[in-house]
Chains A and B, each alone.
Chain A
Amino acid sequence: EIVMTQSPATLSVSPGERATLSCRASQSINSNLAWYQQKPGQAPSLLIYDASTRATDVPARFSGSGSGTEFTLTINSLQSEDFAVYFCHQYNNWPPYTFGQGTKLEIK
């Protein structure tokens, strides 16, 4: 089973600034990684797939990068609606599909 490790667990950033979230896989997953945003009381929403492709209607301030075992989600010019929990998810080696434990992005 591939273990996905996200860091940090909590990230405090001011609106208008940049946030950088990390996700590490326990072995190579090529570029088969997705990022999801989850707001309180809502289902996860797909942001990025194939490590760097934005999903439909996702703003350009969200970008993903990386391959192999190291991945990054960058959010530029943070807006109030961006403060949420972010999960990474690998779909390279399954079953099982696995998720990171999440990074909570909070307002500084």
Chain B
Amino acid sequence: QVQLQESGPGLVKSSETLSLTCTVSRGSISSSYYFWGWIRQPPGKGLEWIGSIYYNGGAYYNASLKSRLSISVDTSKNQFSLKLRSATAADTALYYCARQKQKTAAPGFYYFDYWGRGRLVTVSS
């Protein structure tokens, strides 16, 4: 089964850029049936969708983060990445990457079927 692994700095200074990469193994990121997403979970809180990207680079972002956010994909490395500029303490969270599977015979509807273990990122002043 597909595996996802987040990587990147666990500590980011306030006002700097938070950068994470998700490496996909045991599956191709170039499949037309999947999106690839980022979700975060602040300590003790619920889940917040950050954004998702398709293998061709088409991306959708959470409007609340859009002005600071960039998600990219590198099919040659089977990876996708997240950059969140001007980080603040409010961005401290456990960041997950996940695969989104297309609902059978229903393009446009995708649920998260496999998740990485998560990467805790702390933004410090």
A49 on the B face (CB < 8 A):
yes
Q: How large is the interface on B (under 10, 10 to 19, 20 to 34, 35 or more residues)?
A: 20 to 34
Provided the pairs A87-B47, A99-B46, A99-B48 are in contact, do residues A49 and B96 lie with their beta carbons within 8 angstroms?
Answer: no
Chain B residues touching A, majority SS: strand
B60: which of A32, A89, A95, A98 is its contact (CB, 8 Å)?
Answer: A95
The segment out of B12-20, B73-81, B84-92, B107-115 that lies at the interface is B107-115
B71 to chain A, nearest CB (A): 12
Q: Which residue of B lies closest to A87 (CB)?
A: B47
B34 to chain A, nearest CB (A): 13
B68 on the A face (CB < 8 A):
no
A76 on the B face (CB < 8 A):
no
CA–CA, A30 and B118, complex, Å: 30
- Say whether A99 contacts B103, CB under 8 Å: no
CA–CA, A55 and B118, complex, Å: 21
- Say whether A96 contacts B116, CB under 8 Å: no
- Say whether B62 contacts A91, CB under 8 Å: no
Contact with B along A84-95 (1 / 0, CB 8 A): 000101011011
B33 on the A face (CB < 8 A):
no
With a CB–CB cut-off of 8 A, which chain B residues contact A45? 115
A83 to chain B, nearest CB (A): 18
* Residue with the highest number of chain B CB atoms closer than 10 Å, among A45, A49, A92, A97: A97
A100 on the B face (CB < 8 A):
yes
Interface of A toward B, CB cutoff 8 Å: 32, 34, 36, 42-46, 49-50, 55, 87, 89, 91-92, 94-102
Interface of B toward A, CB cutoff 8 Å: 37, 45-49, 51-52, 60-64, 96, 103, 109-118
